[in-house]
Amino acid sequence: MNSVWVLAKNTFLELIRDRILYGLLVFAVLLIGLSLALGQLSFAEQSRISANFGFTAIHLSMVVLSIFVGSTLVAKELDKKTIFTLLARPLSRPQFLLGKCLGLTMVTLTVVMGLAVMLCFVFLGLSVPIDIQYLTALLGIILESFVLLGMTIFFGSFASPAMVVTSSIGFFLIGHWLNDLNFFAGKSKSEAFLRFSDLVSSFLPNLEKFNWRSAVIYQEKISGFEVIAALGYSLSWFILLLTLTSIILRRKDFA
């Protein structure tokens, strides 16, 4: 496990110096700052508008980080041929995959915590309560990023980065529309539409299970069972996708 940790640490340091990450942070900070400006337009809804924009900034940052950085996580090592140097050491392919994932996960958690602290100051300035619902909303964003990260790494094991980004964005949009799809399928009288909805829901992750951001804005309660179920759902998808990626990498000929 020491070699996995060394690889994860190097991946973390490499990604933390990436220009994409700095651009992403600037975008998120500007969006949080914009939330304060837009909140001034409506004194009655100032806190809700600011909270909505703040969580949107963190959510979009995690989505972009997971999809765009995750798509090149393995492909970059293949293009630069550095994977040969790594695998020549006492490091198996599953350990290589685990180390890279752990490094990107550490970057994700670091960025979420940094932006969350910044949003805390905005909430304190607007007298918005920072309670367990605030932390739960952040947890939902992290759990969703795990699923997206697993998805991009899985596609990245056999497709080009451009294809990975395109596919991941498509699955991200579908993942947030599954509830609407099931709703309209239930309202329709088409048996084929119902079966299509069940099929899509069975094979694709429902990302709306992690969306607790509106609960903070409208002070809605989130049950502990719902949080535990979402945690298990996210980890199940993450482990499944990493296992499939590991199987593909084991059979892949890098020569």
Segments in 129-190 forming alpha helices (H): 132-156, 161-187
Predicted local confidence at residue 155, as pLDDT: 86
CA dist., res. 101 & res. 93, Å (int): 12
Rounded to the nearest angstrom, the gap between the alpha carbon of residue 196 and the centroid of all alpha carbons in its chain is: 26
* 2/102: higher pLDDT: 102
The pLDDT confidence band at residue 230, using thresholds 50, 70 and 90, is: very high
CA dist., res. 196 & res. 216, Å (int): 34
Rg over alpha carbons for the chain, rounded to the nearest Å, is 20
Q: Is the pLDDT of residue 237 over 90?
A: yes
145 in Cβ contact with 59 (< 8 Å): no
Rounded to the nearest angstrom, the gap between the alpha carbon of residue 66 and the centroid of all alpha carbons in its chain is: 5
The pLDDT confidence band at residue 58, using thresholds 50, 70 and 90, is: confident
Task: Output 198-204 pairs: Cβ under 8 A, ≥24 positions apart.
Answer: 200/174, 204/171, 204/174, 204/175, 204/178
Among residues 70, 249, 242, which one has the least CA distance to residue 149? Answer: 70
CA dist., res. 12 & res. 247, Å (int): 24
Other C-beta atoms closer than 10 Å to the C-beta of 182 total 16
Q: How far is CA 41 from CA 1, 152, 213, 217, 219, in A?
A: 53, 39, 22, 17, 22
Predicted local confidence at residue 233, as pLDDT: 93
* 100/143: higher pLDDT: 143
Q: Is the pLDDT of residue 229 over 90?
A: yes
pLDDT, tens digit (0-9, with 9 covering 90-100), for 177-228? 888 888 888 887 778 888 888 888 888 899 989 988 877 777 778 888 999 9
163 in Cβ contact with 71 (< 8 Å): no
CA dist., res. 97 & res. 107, Å (int): 16
Q: Is the pLDDT of residue 45 over 90?
A: no
* 230/123: higher pLDDT: 230
CA dist., res. 144 & res. 211, Å (int): 8
